[in-house]
Amino acid sequence: MAERFFQHVFPNGLTLLAERMPAVQSAAMSFLVPAGTSNDPADAGGSANVLSDLILRGAGKLDSRELTDHLDRLGLQRSSSSGLYHTRLGCAALSSRVMAGLPTYADIVRRAHLPEDGFEAARDLSLQAIAGIDDDPKQKMLIALRERHFPFPFGRNSLGVESELKALTVDRIRQDYAKRFHARGAILSFAGDVDFITLKSEVERLFGDWDGSPIITLPGKPAVRGVHHQDQQSEQTHIGIAWPSILETDPDYYTVRLAVEVLSGGMSGRLFTEVREKRGLVYSVWAGYSSLKEVGSILAYAGTSNDRAQKTLDTMLAEFQRLTEGVTPAELQRAKTGLKAATIMQGESSGARAGAIAHDWFIRGRIRTLDEIKDAIDSVTVEKVNAYLKANPPGPYTIVTVGPKPLEVGR
Amino acid sequence: MAERFFQHVFPNGLTLLAERMPAVQSAAMSFLVPAGTSNDPADAGGSANVLSDLILRGAGKLDSRELTDHLDRLGLQRSSSSGLYHTRLGCAALSSRVMAGLPTYADIVRRAHLPEDGFEAARDLSLQAIAGIDDDPKQKMLIALRERHFPFPFGRNSLGVESELKALTVDRIRQDYAKRFHARGAILSFAGDVDFITLKSEVERLFGDWDGSPIITLPGKPAVRGVHHQDQQSEQTHIGIAWPSILETDPDYYTVRLAVEVLSGGMSGRLFTEVREKRGLVYSVWAGYSSLKEVGSILAYAGTSNDRAQKTLDTMLAEFQRLTEGVTPAELQRAKTGLKAATIMQGESSGARAGAIAHDWFIRGRIRTLDEIKDAIDSVTVEKVNAYLKANPPGPYTIVTVGPKPLEVGR
């Protein structure tokens, strides 16, 4: 049987990953370049986000319009975004089309034009998005929660800082591109109908001589944390709660994931049942494990009418605390089934797989098979979960609320 | 070769559809029941939305908690929503699990408990969502645009009307359930690893004696349309524009779809290029064909800073008008590639296929193969598009804006 996975690290530090999915005709690409919000220059937050737009405005022999037309003509379903660690470029289509688009992606990350008028337009869009946050109290709360809970630079808002964006120049952004768009730390992954040998030689041809300078990291600063309220005349109060947890590479990772699944997985999760179904307190409530490479955390959210906000916060904190009393075997079984079902469904989507193997490599330095993940989930026992929860009570909490009045914590 | 599609209409009016996807282990189910916003009682808008929550709070031999636990234990990835025509219940998992869940879905649509306390909680969630609209100017605009552009009852807000929800009783909602949750007009579709013979006999066993009363429709009222502004102190102005178009069953359907694709498909669409890329006017802009069974329309949206709102509206209207001058062969080719690529990618997802074959049946009374869709797209010529666009200039427009000040139309 042919191998399912392929991985190769080129001398310049570029990692190529691929997963063959025999059942599909399509292929998906996910390209992570190590220019993200966490390594934006200290005084120029939002640079990576501006670049994620600007790099598409002409590259290699194609101007902005030609580049877009060319990729549209190939029928590539595209996405681009800037994350905390990486700028991500994604595409999916019939496999041959994805391969045909690859030289253009090499131009984008290596030979982008970064034109001055394009810079002005891209920066303007960032500034508009920042202004728009004020109309969106939920987003405003989530930004503040991350900024306060995570140590700098991991809580930075990917949209950037208004004053810093205004001070940004096209020369500065061009220097930044030269510094951060390079091979070391870049991960290029494919899933679907792919041929490993062709892929490797094509990637070598296009990226073999790409600059391999070291990855940039910023010095850290401790997190602010604590309780914080932002006044906003709104119909709903938005509540965010975060607390520290273990890293994704920790042996207890699935123990924690399954405990969080009991709290908030599926419709039978405790938060959904207690806060939404039984008490009708909120329209939306969830908790989830947040995976950063350096910091593991649990983040939770609820949006609720102002008169029920205090009761909602109290109920959420009580549910978190109740975790220390443990979960039942039936709850754990459902949590396992839910997590495994999500894993199986993901295994049938080339886009999801291309993203998952890149994430695995970034966090763990290797690809995991779906069977390995399923085994890891199955090996967690109720004793293990309950011992962990007893020894690791939730907290200390970072709490952010946005609404017309502050709430009381721990009354 | 085994057949790919299966369809059967039972004597009581229930339609069973299935598509076999040999490459996948999973299956997805999409269940459309003919209780939607458009046939909510005339004085009880929002009833279907309340029911879409309430039906899951206990059914058959299972109470609310047991029902949720049971479906979670099967590992079903679930969704439920109320649309204009239908309440939709969806799930996906390993094929055997989806089949194992089917008896519970029969209980949900036929033998829901509809408990009083569950009714209060479900209604409360609807009322909270309505109150939350005020914090979301974009959603507020889109609701107003649909209400004004579409003739009653097709422009109704699925969340309902506050005063009508407050007057609703549990008895009323139980009568409504008995009246609208029935076989005639219901479409139950599956895609993935499914066996047609087993499926048919199981569905016959569970639904063969389901009530086959006629579908309810409300008398229509003409649309208001025209230009409308809602004052809101917000950082951005939200602009919505709609105009009439042909039905999805019209022979010119793909002619129109491709013209709209030239306007707003991919990154090379005219709106994206002219409004966002060149002028940096907006953060988000799009236009799309809106498929209702009785009314075809084009809907367009832009969200922009207040000082650029007038210029954005002017540019959008100019772009719509410019369509009458026709599209270029290169534009049409890109539009075809984009539309076909989306079709191919959809063909690999069991969830997307289960939804697509149900939509086809509802709109056209039959299932189309992906090849038929690709042929229909390919058969459109640039002459055909341009003749259509010349003969059918856009308009008359329904325009809704939400922001701190009204805009001028057609200055």
pLDDT confidence of A1, banded at 50, 70, 90? very low
Q: Give the integer Cα–Cα distance in Å for B411 and A207.
A: 53
Beta bridge partners of A242: A299, A398
Mean pLDDT, residues A134-159 taken together: 95
Partner residue opposite B125 with nearest CB, options A72, A125, A283 = A283
- Contact at CB, B26 and A344, closer than 8 angstroms: yes
Give the distance from residue B222's alpha carbon to the nearest chain A alpha carbon, in angstroms. Answer: 33
Write out chain B's pLDDT in tens, 411 residues.
468 999 999 999 999 999 999 878 899 999 999 999 999 999 999 999 999 999 999 999 999 999 999 999 999 999 999 999 999 999 999 999 999 999 999 999 999 999 999 999 999 999 999 998 988 999 999 999 999 999 999 999 999 999 999 999 999 999 999 999 999 999 999 999 999 999 999 999 999 999 999 998 999 999 999 999 999 988 899 999 999 999 999 999 999 999 999 999 877 899 988 887 777 778 789 999 998 999 999 999 999 999 999 999 999 999 999 999 999 999 999 999 999 988 888 888 899 999 999 999 999 999 999 999 999 999 999 999 999 999 999 999 999 999 999 999 976
Nearest CA in chain A to B72: A334
- Contact at CB, B26 and A345, closer than 8 angstroms: yes
From the number of C-beta atoms within 10 Å of its C-beta (0-12, 13-18, 19+), residue A242 rates as: buried
Mean pLDDT, residues A128-149 taken together: 94
Q: Using alpha carbons only, what angle is made at residue A284 by residues A280 and A288, rounded to the nearest 5 degrees?
A: 125
Residues of B in contact with A26 (CB under 8 A): 344-345, 348
Residues of A in contact with B276 (CB under 8 A): 125
Nearest CA in chain A to B25: A348
Residues of B in contact with A66 (CB under 8 A): none
Residues of A in contact with B270 (CB under 8 A): none
Task: Identify the pLDDT of residue B399.
Answer: 98
Task: Identify the pLDDT of residue A74.
Answer: 93
- Contact at CB, B24 and A337, closer than 8 angstroms: no
- Contact at CB, B78 and A267, closer than 8 angstroms: yes
Structure tokens given for A93: 């289509």
Phi (first) and psi of residue B138, to 5 degrees: -65, -50
Give the distance from residue A48's alpha carbon to the nearest chain B alpha carbon, in angstroms. Answer: 17
Task: Identify the pLDDT of residue B281.
Answer: 77
Is residue A254 scored above 90 in pLDDT? yes
- B385, amino acid identity: V
Of the two residues B23 and A108, the one the predictor is more confident about is: A108
Q: What is the DSSP string of A133-171?
A: GGG-HHHHHHHHHHHHHSPBTTT--TT--HHHHHH--HH
Is residue A129 scored above 80 in pLDDT? yes
- Contact at CB, A268 and B72, closer than 8 angstroms: yes
CATH superfamily of B5-207: Metalloenzyme, LuxS/M16 peptidase-like (3.30.830.10)
Q: What is the DSSP string of B243-263?
A: EEE--TTSTTHHHHHHHHHHH
Is residue A265 scored above 90 in pLDDT? no
Nearest CA in chain B to A275: B121
- Contact at CB, B341 and A71, closer than 8 angstroms: no
Give the distance from residue B89's alpha carbon to the nearest chain A alpha carbon, in angstroms. Answer: 14
Average pLDDT value over all residues in chain A: 94
Task: Identify the pLDDT of residue B334.
Answer: 93
pTM of the shown model: 0.92
- Contact at CB, A71 and B234, closer than 8 angstroms: no
Q: Give the integer Cα–Cα distance in Å for A296 and B358.
A: 42
Nearest residue to A101 via CA among A56, A36, A49 = A56
Task: Identify the pLDDT of residue A267.
Answer: 79
Contact B210, B178 (CB under 8 A): no
Q: What is the ipTM of this complex?
A: 0.87
Partner residue opposite B280 with nearest CB, options A124, A236, A350 = A124
Interface probe for A, chosen from B55, B127, B128, B258 (most Cβ of A below 10 Å), is B128
Beta bridge partners of B91: B29, B78
Question: Which residue stretches of A247-349 are H helix?
Answer: 253-264, 270-271, 309-322, 329-346
Dihedral over alpha carbons B57, B59, B64, B65 (to 10 degrees) = -150
Shared fold status for B5-207 and B227-403 = yes
Nearest residue to B24 via CA among B269, B191, B274 = B191
Per-domain residue ranges of chain B: 5-207, 227-403
Structure tokens given for B186: 């219901």
SS3 sequence of A258-281: HHHHHHHCCCCCHHHHHHHHHCCC
Question: What's the topology of domain B227-403?
Answer: Cytochrome Bc1 Complex; Chain A, domain 1 (3.30.830)
Partner residue opposite A23 with nearest CB, options B23, B73, B74 = B23
